[in-house]
Amino acid sequence: MSLVLAILFITSFAASLQDEMQAHHFEKVKAKSNSEFLNSLGVVSSVSRRGETLSGTIECIEYTALRWIRAGYESDIPVDDLLELNRVTGVKFSYGLLSGGSDIERLINGAKPLAEQEALIAIEGANEPNNWEVNYKGENGGGSKSWIPVARLQQDLYKRVKSEPVLQEIPVWSISENGAQTDNTGLQFLSIPLNAGTLMPAGTKYADFANCHNYITHPSWPGLHDNQTWRSSGSGNDVPVDGLYGNYGKTWRNKFKGYSEAELDSLPRVTTETGIAVGQDDVVTEELQARLYLDLYLSQFKRGWKYTAIYLLKGRADEPAHEAFAFYKLDYTPKKAADYLHNFTRILADDKETEEPGWLEYKLSNHSENIHDLLLQRSDGVYQLVIWGENFVSPAERIKVTFGTKPQGIKVYNPISGTAPIGLLTDVNEVKLELSNHPYILELEELE
């Protein structure tokens, strides 16, 4: 949609605020801190290995303003490079065993200096043991074998982290793809409850957070759909991809029982890989990928995921085909996904925590289930309402946003067109937008 058309579709008009209030149509919404949302934005990167350079990664992080990187000792990334990257950009890390790793002491030794520099957000267990078997204390596990060695590795990792003074407050994230267990080791739980009927005993503690690779497409759900990222971010059994339910509710491989849907809804959780490739099903273009990635970060956060890492920051020299997922090409040329994320994070930029986010009354009218909203508040008190559409099949919708209290002005931003406002509205409490498949941000100046 062109900038001119976007401006034409943004209209405003005076309304009877008293009538609206009497109708009790407004929803009172508690805001989330801008910083909390921005802190959730992560990416997978080898930082200074596999064709990536430390200087290049610094430039990428400074441009996109991503707040954390999923890393580990798998690619032999020097911890000094991670420390320097944090020192220059402020980016933090999850640090994990990753693919096939089982050396707990090596992981602990790498994690401690990161924690001491306040650059560590979590320690992660094994990466996809269904694809990368582990050998722990002389026993092979994962894949089509017993998962008991995987379970013991994760149990011992948790105990070791919590025994180390500098690490004991750092969250431990579970393994990924625990839904592939061949035997019921109880890895579908953070802590095995009583009467779970698992091979490992009740009370076994594995993690503080569930960990998923809920990619936004799946062989059983090909193509583009309305609510592509919203549905993928769900927690129930209706999620069409490999998600929370299939790993922690009822395991997707052998249907071992885990948490109920009600319990899953509030389960602490993170995503350490997600994304979609340019060329996927012959329908995903670079433009569509860029819009999907903005929607993805928003949907994940709104639906309860504390952290989300998109795979991948930059194409890897040893896996050139994976460039299709990345924000950057092999030569560090930014794709549209990087450019749109740059605009998005600049519009929402805030380096301080909002101590106690406030409440705002507003409502969205004339919209389908494909339209979503996230209320944010900067540390200076300014509200920014993010509204996005996921109409990837259905036509765009013209919706109305009405505020219970009239702001002195409303700045309208479109991150796919730049960082400057595309409209400034005054003396109104309503805005009309046409939403298709990307976000707008409404920034409210001082409320009356």
Q: Same domain for 152 and 64?
A: yes
pLDDT at 10 over 60: no
Give the per-residue pLDDT at 111: 98
| Mean pLDDT of all residues in 133-146 | 97
According to the model, what pLDDT value does residue 5 have? 42
Total domain count, the chain: 2
Helix (H, G, I), strand (E, B) or coil at 121: strand
- Decide which of 327, 347, 367 is a domain's last residue: 347
Query: What is the percent of the chain with per-residue pLDDT over 90, rounded to a whole number?
Result: 91
How far is it, in rounded angstroms, from Cα 80 to Cα 170?
20
170-218 pLDDT, tens per residue?
A: 999 999 999 999 999 999 999 999 999 999 999 999 999 999 999 999 9
The answer to whether 435 touches 298, Cβ cutoff 8 Å, is: no
136 and 109 in a single domain? The answer is yes
Asked if 333 and 16 count as a contact pair (C-beta separation under 8 A), the reply is: no
Same domain, 188 and 251: yes
pLDDT at 328 over 50: yes
The answer to whether residues 8 and 90 belong to one domain is no
pLDDT at 11 over 60: no
318/382 same-domain check = no
At residue 100 the predicted structure's pLDDT band, cuts being 50, 70 and 90, is confident
Same domain? 341 vs 401: no
Q: Are the CB atoms for 240 and 276 separated by under 8 Å?
A: no
Q: What is the pLDDT of residue 13?
A: 37
- Average per-residue pLDDT for the chain: 94
- Mean of pLDDT values over 41-45: 98
Share of the chain above pLDDT 70, in %: 94
Summarize pLDDT for 72-94 with one digit per residue, the tens: 987 889 999 999 999 999 999 99
User: What is the pLDDT at residue 20?
Assistant: 42
* 10 or 131, greater pLDDT: 131
Same domain? 366 vs 306:
no
Last residue of a domain, one of 347, 374, 405: 347
Task: Decide: 26 and 20 in contact? Cβ < 8 Å.
Answer: yes
Task: Look at residue 23 and tell me whether its pLDDT is greater than 70.
Answer: no
Report helix, strand and coil shares of the chain as percent, to nearest 5. 30, 25, 45
Per the structure, the complete domain to which residue 306 belongs is given by: 35-347
Helix (H) or strand (E) holding 434: strand 430-435
- The residue from 300, 329, 347 where one domain ends is 347
- 259 shares its domain with 390: no
Residues 335 and 195 in one domain: yes
* Predicted confidence (pLDDT) per residue in 240-297, tens digit: 999 999 999 999 999 999 999 999 999 999 999 999 999 999 999 999 999 999 999 9
- Residue 199 and residue 185 in contact, taking contact as beta carbons nearer than 8 Å: yes
CB 315 within 8 A of CB 51: yes
